[in-house]
């Protein structure tokens, strides 16, 4: 079909959220991506780019998908300039392979990878991050240059390979989190950090029964504890709250990294003991402990078949916990929740993949009614859900600036051939 | 339609003293910090609300009149250079801090608030606003958003874009839209910050507040040569330390700073290095021990004992731009970036350029991230000197591009560097960037003539053209 580019017939395993493409194209260079895109433009074929496929079931089902553009063959670490703390890497490289290359020189891309097997391109396209964004930011904050291929085959770069650079518009930020709807991310350049000399996790379990219980005499909120951790001059890199069972205790955990991590961890343990003791009323399912091992499931999602993300202000943790528990109660769905704190409080709620559409709709509306209250905004979105389960809800909720987003889409992809329909407002 | 028709409509929208047409007063707005580009604005307005700005912008749309936003006018790339045929929207009356929310580590401010005012408002509570451009006492946060301003401490803490959580903006067609990182959808906020006023005007800005570090250690190390100082910088990075700042000045820059502010840097230094460590006390103490080891080659090492001594160390560095006025009648402040490891080669090439053209260059730079601020010195009374300085200044940017760097690290492209954009980016790169412009501002009314050397016609879709061009079809053009 396209000269020099490997293309095969697609099978059922290649389906994108239930839509089976006709072909799978396997370009091996940026030029080959461009050739595929030009060929698709001539034939009016819709394209969905894919990396590790770990999040291919995220977002809405595409309106159409003729060609799955598999970036697995563009997986090279092109240039690791260790002295400059910068790496240029092709989109199909896995985050794991990239980390191994960087670690050999004592460096890292300071991003958590919530799903094993994720690639650089997929991480960018979905803007996935984890608890360490408290200190390092999200993919858009670490991306300093990008090469993209547009729907018509145009290859464009923005940024570069220096961290400090304000020349021109930052297309990298625009493409980060665009779910493949603006074009193909082909290559990325990131700023790096030295691998921390040491790491310590400090955690404690607390009883959840009192959260939001107005009849309790105990303090009702984990917020002062989270605030105290965030304000600590021991400077944690991450602060999380893990609540795998609504009937059981939850765990608050903070990570410290770098020089003198052990001493700083002691400071945080004292914070946990003081604030946590107040919250638990002396009841400690697990007293505060510090250790050099990550707790189970650290930086991972609580599940990803049916996954909801809630973003609120940092101080809304109690409100979100109550909202999740109430939604679980009303719908009788077993929910697992994990939160991490950054500029916002980001909460992921996993539900069973076979939950019925009525229950899912009820769960999401219950959450939205509880937290989505105008200014300052809080948002509830469904990241992943089988099409059937999500058919009765608006996956993304209301979006500020949607008309501008439509105009951006119209400029970049006037033919609506890039992952059509997968993103907000059916973009 | 002309400005004469527009002005009475502006007076209907705004307080009488908020519309300036007096030629003498207009002239005070004719340039920003880059004083050799000047244009007297057609009319200046001083709105107080987002609604007023939206109404002004809608009027401009009605009349097809260009508009330019301006904060404190401290920009160094002519980004706020007015249009003689347009409206200059000055945000200096929008100076309220609307909300300080310590528990959520955020503040909401109007665009005319100065950068430092945010820190001053929250300092007592143990917080600060991290980006710290040298002009932070006067520069406005709206201008910082437009330029994606950095500062000496962005090596560790990042730029404005990493610290802005939301903006309310007036779009180039006069709509008030909130771009918020809490929302799903494209990261339009990320595209807006740093777009130099070409995608609209920020009217309300939510910034992150950072915790004041427990400990700060500032060290001044004096070396015989730039090369030796450069080696120390590499060793610091190689040791896995990320200081809050690493700054370097060469002998000429030191001489100027000495003349201007008597900073008392060590005598006969070929280069001084300023390294600032901050963070938890235990961490900073460990890093400081490493740093002393690394800087053992310095012929003098000073450590600031307190805030006053820290300020003394910084005084020379922060005054450097203005200070060269003491040793040269005229100068150009350049802003370019190279990969940090290329610094030695690039500095050697700058030396050669300087000798070749008989133009002195004082070097001040953010050594940690390769951001150079060469100060190109000349005597404007000497015939041809200005032209030679221009050549040297331009050649430095070429060097930055050759080494895979950037033509601007923090001052922006503005009008000053738009002609260098095609050297750094391909036509396809620039056309693709301008797709964003076309989405936000299809009529090209918001700060036209900045950033891009050639505006893109927004109606046209690039690439393969299908069928006959409408102009050909209408008989107005032919295709060859």
Q: Give the CB-side neighbour count of residue A97, counting CA atoms within 13 A.
A: 17
A82 and A146: one domain?
yes
Report phi then psi at B127, rounded to 5.
-130, 170
Question: How much is the average pLDDT of B445-471?
Answer: 70
Give the A:B interface size as CB pairs under 8 Å: 264
Strand pairing category for A238-243 and A336-341: antiparallel
| Residue of A79, A136, A162, A320 to mutate when probing chain B, most B C-beta within 10 A | A162
From A426's Cα to the closest Cα of chain B, the distance in A is: 11
Q: Which of A194, A213, A234 is the last residue of a domain?
A: A194
Q: Report CB contact under 8 Å: B240, A165.
A: no
From B290's Cα to the closest Cα of chain A, the distance in A is: 11
From A11's Cα to the closest Cα of chain B, the distance in A is: 31
Q: With H, G, I as helix, E, B as strand and everything else as coil, classify residue B439.
A: helix
Domain harbouring A63, CATH code: 3.30.43.10
String of DSSP letters for B37-79: S----SEEE---SHHHHHHHHHHHHHHT--EEEESSS--SSST
Domain harbouring A345, CATH code: 3.30.70.260
Question: How much is the average pLDDT of A47-71?
Answer: 97
What integer pLDDT is reported at residue A276 of this predicted model? 82
Q: Report CB contact under 8 Å: A231, B126.
A: yes
Q: What angle do CA B293, B299, B304 make, to 5 degrees?
A: 70
Q: Is B291 exposed, middle or buried (0-12, 13-18, 19+ CB in 10 A)?
A: buried
Domain harbouring A163, CATH code: 3.30.465.10
Quick one: which of B189, B185, B137 has its CA closest to B163?
B189
Cβ atoms of residues A88 and A187 within 8 Å: yes
Nearest CB neighbour to B105, from listed A168, A178, A230 = A230
To which residue do tokens 């909300």 refer?
A: B99
> What DSSP character marks residue A25?
E
What integer pLDDT is reported at residue B50 of this predicted model? 98
Query: Is residue A331 in a domain?
Result: yes
Strand-pairing partners, residue A190, are A87, A143
Q: How many helices and strands in chain A, by DSSP H and E?
A: 11, 19
Nearest CB neighbour to B103, from listed A155, A227, A404 = A227
From A192's Cα to the closest Cα of chain B, the distance in A is: 11
A243 and A264: one domain?
yes
Q: Is B471 exposed, middle or buried (0-12, 13-18, 19+ CB in 10 A)?
A: exposed
Q: Per mean pLDDT, which range of A268-282, B7-21, B114-128, B219-233 is the poorest? A: A268-282
Question: How much is the average pLDDT of B124-139?
Answer: 95
The answer to whether A162 contacts chain B (CB < 8 Å) is yes
Nearest CB neighbour to B280, from listed A141, A178, A233 = A233
CA distances from A313 to A213, A220, A379 (A): 21, 18, 10
Mark which residues 41-60 of A lie under 8 Å from B by CB: 41-42
Q: What is the CATH number of domain B3-90?
A: 3.30.43.10
- CB-CB neighbors (< 8 A) of A144 in chain B: none
Q: Report CB contact under 8 Å: A83, B282.
A: no
**Chain B, nearest residue to A194 by Cα:** B240
What integer pLDDT is reported at residue B456 of this predicted model? 82
Q: Report CB contact under 8 Å: B180, A400.
A: yes
What integer pLDDT is reported at residue B20 of this predicted model? 97
What integer pLDDT is reported at residue A1 of this predicted model? 63
Q: List helix spans (H) across B329-384.
A: 343-357
From A373's Cα to the closest Cα of chain B, the distance in A is: 13
A133 and A168: one domain?
yes
Q: With H, G, I as helix, E, B as strand and everything else as coil, classify residue B138.
A: coil
Q: Give the CB-side neighbour count of residue A4, counting CA atoms within 13 A.
A: 9
Q: Does the pLDDT at position B33 exceed 80?
A: yes
What integer pLDDT is reported at residue B478 of this predicted model? 43
Q: Report CB contact under 8 Å: B429, A158.
A: yes
- Give the contacts of B86 (CB within 8 A, at least 6 positions apart): B3, B41, B42, B60, B65, B66, B67, B68
Q: Which of A194, A223, A239 is the last residue of a domain?
A: A194
Q: Is B351 exposed, middle or buried (0-12, 13-18, 19+ CB in 10 A)?
A: middle
What integer pLDDT is reported at residue A298 of this predicted model? 96
Nearest CB neighbour to B195, from listed A42, A169, A414 = A169
Nearest CB neighbour to A344, from listed B182, B193, B407 = B182
- CB-CB neighbors (< 8 A) of B126 in chain A: 231
Q: Report CB contact under 8 Å: A399, B183.
A: yes
**Chain A, nearest residue to B195 by Cα:** A169
String of DSSP letters for B223-277: ESSHHHHHHHHHHHHHTT---SEEEEEEHHHHHHHHHHH---PPTT-SEEEEEEE
Nearest CB neighbour to A152, from listed B126, B195, B464 = B464
Round to whole Å and give the CA distance between B335 and B316. Answer: 19
| Residue of A41, A168, A414 to mutate when probing chain B, most B C-beta within 10 A | A168
Q: What angle do CA A120, A124, A125 make, to 5 degrees?
A: 115
Query: Is residue A347 in a domain?
Result: yes
Q: pLDDT tens digits for B214-234?
A: 999 999 999 999 999 999 999
Q: What is the CATH number of domain B215-402?
A: 3.40.462.10
The answer to whether A234 contacts chain B (CB < 8 Å) is yes
What integer pLDDT is reported at residue B364 of this predicted model? 93
Cβ atoms of residues B112 and B140 within 8 Å: yes
A51 and A85: one domain?
no
Question: How much is the average pLDDT of A202-219?
Answer: 72
Strand pairing category for A67-70 and A23-26: parallel
Q: What share of chain A is helix, strand, coil (3-state, %, to 5)?
A: 30, 25, 45
Q: What angle do CA A84, A52, A66 make, to 5 degrees?
A: 120
Q: pLDDT tens digits for A63-105?
A: 999 999 999 999 999 999 999 999 999 999 999 999 999 999 9
Topology (CATH) of B97-211: 3.30.465
Round to whole Å and give the CA distance between B451 and A301. Answer: 41
The rounded mean pLDDT for chain A is 94
A65 and A78: one domain?
no
Query: Is residue A335 in a domain?
Result: yes
Sign for the CA dihedral angle at A41, A90, A74, A5 comes to positive
Round to whole Å and give the CA distance between A293 and B410. Answer: 40
- CB-CB neighbors (< 8 A) of A400 in chain B: 177-180, 183, 185
Joined tokens for residue A101? 């290359």
From B258's Cα to the closest Cα of chain A, the distance in A is: 28
Q: Does the pLDDT at position A269 exceed 90?
A: yes
- CB-CB neighbors (< 8 A) of A168 in chain B: 413, 421, 424-425, 429-430, 433, 451
**Chain A, nearest residue to B152 by Cα:** A164
What integer pLDDT is reported at residue A284 of this predicted model? 76
Round to whole Å and give the CA distance between A147 and A149. Answer: 7
Round to whole Å and give the CA distance between A51 and B370. Answer: 33
- Give the contacts of A308 (CB within 8 A, at least 6 positions apart): A348, A349, A350, A351, A363, A364, A367, A380, A381, A382, A383
Q: How large a percentage of chain A has pLDDT more than 90?
A: 85
Q: What share of chain B is helix, strand, coil (3-state, %, to 5)?
A: 40, 20, 40
- Give the contacts of A104 (CB within 8 A, at least 6 positions apart): none
Quick one: which of B339, B48, B73, B370 has its CA closest to B197?
B73
Mark which residues 93-152 of A lie under 8 Å from B by CB: 106, 127, 137, 140-141, 148, 150, 152
Q: Which domain holds residue A221?
A: 199-291
Q: Report CB contact under 8 Å: B282, A264.
A: yes
Round to whole Å and give the CA distance between A93 and A121. Answer: 8
Q: pLDDT tens digits for B435-447?
A: 999 999 999 999 9
Q: pLDDT tens digits for B38-88?
A: 999 999 999 999 999 999 999 999 999 999 999 999 999 999 999 999 999
User: What is the edge-to-edge ordering of all strands in the sheet holding B87-90?
Assistant: B19-20, B43-45, B87-90, B67-70
Q: Does the pLDDT at position A3 exceed 80?
A: no
Q: Does the pLDDT at position A191 exceed 70?
A: yes
A239 and A257: one domain?
yes
- Give the contacts of A215 (CB within 8 A, at least 6 positions apart): none
Joined tokens for residue A118? 């994720």
What integer pLDDT is reported at residue A217 of this predicted model? 55
What integer pLDDT is reported at residue B464 of this predicted model? 42
Q: Does the pLDDT at position B460 exceed 70?
A: no
| Residue of B432, B433, B437, B438 to mutate when probing chain A, most A C-beta within 10 A | B432
- CB-CB neighbors (< 8 A) of B283 in chain A: 235, 258-260, 264
What integer pLDDT is reported at residue A216 of this predicted model? 61
Report phi then psi at A16, rounded to 5.
-105, 110
Q: Which helix (H) or strand (E) holds A318?
A: helix A317-331
Query: Is residue A402 in a domain?
Result: no
Q: Does the pLDDT at position B245 exceed 60?
A: yes
Q: How large a percentage of chain A has pLDDT more than 70?
A: 95
Nearest CB neighbour to A81, from listed B213, B339, B412 = B339
A89 and A188: one domain?
yes
The answer to whether A79 contacts chain B (CB < 8 Å) is no
Q: Does the pLDDT at position B468 exceed 70?
A: no
Query: Is residue A300 in a domain?
Result: no
Quick one: which of A11, A23, A117 has its CA closest to A67?
A23
A157 and A60: one domain?
no
- CB-CB neighbors (< 8 A) of B232 in chain A: none
Q: pLDDT tens digits for B313-363?
A: 999 998 888 889 899 999 999 999 999 999 999 999 999 999 999 999 999
A182 and A203: one domain?
no
- CB-CB neighbors (< 8 A) of A198 in chain B: none
The answer to whether A86 contacts chain B (CB < 8 Å) is yes
- CB-CB neighbors (< 8 A) of B178 in chain A: 377, 400-401
Mark which residues 367-426 of A lie under 8 Å from B by CB: 376-379, 381, 396-397, 399-402, 404-405, 407-408, 410-412, 414, 423-425
| Domain ranges (residues) in chain B | 3-90, 97-211, 215-402
**Chain A, nearest residue to B197 by Cα:** A169
What integer pLDDT is reported at residue A203 of this predicted model? 95
- CB-CB neighbors (< 8 A) of A39 in chain B: none
Q: What angle do CA B401, B402, B408 make, to 5 degrees?
A: 15
Joined tokens for residue B234? 């590499």
Joined tokens for residue A365? 């509306």
Domain harbouring A259, CATH code: 3.30.70
A359: pLDDT confidence band, cut at 50, 70 and 90?
very high
Q: Which of A131, A166, A194 is the last residue of a domain?
A: A194
Quick one: which of B96, B153, B149 has its CA closest to B128?
B153
Query: Is residue A220 in a domain?
Result: yes
- CB-CB neighbors (< 8 A) of B285 in chain A: 260
Radius of gyration in angstroms for the set of CA atoms belonging to chain B, rounded to a whole number: 24
Q: Does the pLDDT at position B462 exceed 60?
A: no
Joined tokens for residue A64? 């159409």
Number of domains in chain A: 4
């Amino acid at each position: 079909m396209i000269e020099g580019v490997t293309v095969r017939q697609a099978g059922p395993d290649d389906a994108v959220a239930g839509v089976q493409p006709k072909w799978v194209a396997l370009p091996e260079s940026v030029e080959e991506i461009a050739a595929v895109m030009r060929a698709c433009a001539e034939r009016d074929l819709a394209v969905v780019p894919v990396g590790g496929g770990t999040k291919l079931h995220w977002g809405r089902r595409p309106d159409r998908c003729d060609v799955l553009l598999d970036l697995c063959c563009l997986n090279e670490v092109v240039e690791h300039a260790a002295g400059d703390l910068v790496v240029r890497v092709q989109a199909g490289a896995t985050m794991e392979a990239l980390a191994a290359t960087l670690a050999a020189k004592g460096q890292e891309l300071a991003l958590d990878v919530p799903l094993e097997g994720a690639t650089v391109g997929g991480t960018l396209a979905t803007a996935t991050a984890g608890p360490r964004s408290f200190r390092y930011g999200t993919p858009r904050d670490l991306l300093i240059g990008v090469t993209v291929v547009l729907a018509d085959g145009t290859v464009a770069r923005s940024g570069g390979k220096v961290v400090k650079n304000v020349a021109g518009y930052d297309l990298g930020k625009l493409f980060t989190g665009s779910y493949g709807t603006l074009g193909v991310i082909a290559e990325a350049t990131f700023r790096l950090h030295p691998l921390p000399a040491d790491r310590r996790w400090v955690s404690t379990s607390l009883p959840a029964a009192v959260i939001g219980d107005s009849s309790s005499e105990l303090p009702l909120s984990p917020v002062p504890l989270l605030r105290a951790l965030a304000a600590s001059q021991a400077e944690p890199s991450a602060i999380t709250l893990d609540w795998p069972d609504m009937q059981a205790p939850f765990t608050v955990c903070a990570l410290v990294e770098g020089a003198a991590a052990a001493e700083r961890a002691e400071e945080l343990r004292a914070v946990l003991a003081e604030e946590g003791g107040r919250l638990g009323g002396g009841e400690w399912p697990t007293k505060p402990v510090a250790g050099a091992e990550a707790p189970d499931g650290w930086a991972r999602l609580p599940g990803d078949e049916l996954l909801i993300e809630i973003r609120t202000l940092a101080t809304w943790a109690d409100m979100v916990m109550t909202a999740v528990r109430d939604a679980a109660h009303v719908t009788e769905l077993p929910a697992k929740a994990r939160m991490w704190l950054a500029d916002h409080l980001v909460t992921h709620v996993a539900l069973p993949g076979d939950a019925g559409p009525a229950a899912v709709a009820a769960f999401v509306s219950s959450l939205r009614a509880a937290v989505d209250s105008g200014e300052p905004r809080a948002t509830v979105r469904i990241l992943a859900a089988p099409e059937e389960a999500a058919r009765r809800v608006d996956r993304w909720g209301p979006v500020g600036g949607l008309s501008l987003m439509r105009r951006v889409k119209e400029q970049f992809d006037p033919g609506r051939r890039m992952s059509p329909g997968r993103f907000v407002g059916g973009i | 339609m002309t400005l004469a028709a527009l002005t009475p409509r502006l007076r209907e929208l705004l307080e009488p003293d908020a519309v300036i047409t007096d030629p003498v007063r207009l002239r005070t707005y004719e340039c920003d910090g880059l004083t050799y580009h000047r244009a007297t604005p057609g009319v200046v307005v001083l709105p107080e609300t987002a609604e007023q700005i939206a109404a002004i912008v809608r009027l401009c749309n009605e009349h097809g009149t260009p508009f330019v936003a301006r904060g404190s006018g401290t920009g160094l790339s002519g980004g706020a250079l007015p249009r003689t045929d347009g409206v200059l929207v000055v945000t200096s009356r929008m100076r309220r801090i609307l909300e300080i929310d310590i528990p959520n580590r955020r503040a909401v401010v109007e665009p005319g608030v100065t950068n430092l005012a945010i820190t001053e408002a929250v300092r007592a509570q143990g917080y600060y606003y991290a980006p710290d451009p040298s002009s932070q006492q006067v520069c406005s946060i709206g201008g910082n958003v437009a330029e994606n301003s950095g500062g000496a401490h962005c090596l560790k803490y990042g730029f404005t874009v990493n610290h802005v959580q939301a903006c309310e903006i007036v779009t180039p067609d006069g709509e008030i839209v909130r771009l918020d990182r809490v929302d799903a959808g494209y990261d339009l906020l990320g595209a807006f910050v740093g777009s130099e006023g070409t995608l609209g005007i920020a009217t309300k800005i939510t910034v992150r507040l950072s915790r004041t570090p427990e400990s700060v250690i500032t060290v001044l190390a004096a070396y015989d040569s730039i090369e030796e100082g450069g080696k120390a910088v590499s060793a610091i990075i190689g040791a896995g330390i990320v200081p809050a700042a690493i700054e370097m000045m060469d002998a000429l820059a030191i001489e100027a700073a000495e003349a201007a502010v008597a900073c008392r840097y060590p005598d006969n230094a070929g280069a001084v290095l300023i390294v600032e460590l901050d963070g938890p006390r235990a961490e900073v103490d460990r890093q400081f021990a490493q740093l002393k080891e690394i800087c053992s080659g310095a012929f003098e090492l000073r450590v600031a004992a307190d805030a006053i001594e820290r300020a003394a160390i910084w005084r020379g560095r922060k005054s450097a731009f203005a200070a060269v006025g003491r040793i040269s009648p005229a100068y150009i402040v350049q802003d370019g970036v190279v990969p940090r490891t290329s610094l030695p080669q690039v500095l050697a090439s700058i030396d050669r350029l300087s000798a070749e053209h008989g133009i002195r260059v004082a070097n001040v730079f953010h050594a940690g991230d390769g951001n150079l601020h060469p100060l190109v010195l000349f005597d404007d009374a000497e015939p041809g000197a200005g032209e030679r300085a221009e050549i040297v200044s331009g050649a430095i940017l070429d060097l930055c591009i050759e080494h895979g760097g950037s033509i601007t690290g923090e001052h922006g492209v503005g009008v000053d560097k738009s002609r260098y954009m095609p050297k750094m980016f391909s036509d396809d790169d620039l056309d693709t960037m301008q797709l964003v412009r076309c989405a936000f501002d299809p009529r090209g009314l918001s700060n036209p003539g900045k950033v891009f050397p050639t505006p893109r016609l927004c109606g046209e879709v690039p690439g393969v053209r299908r069928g006959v061009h409408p102009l050909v079809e209408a008989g107005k053009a032919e295709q060859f």
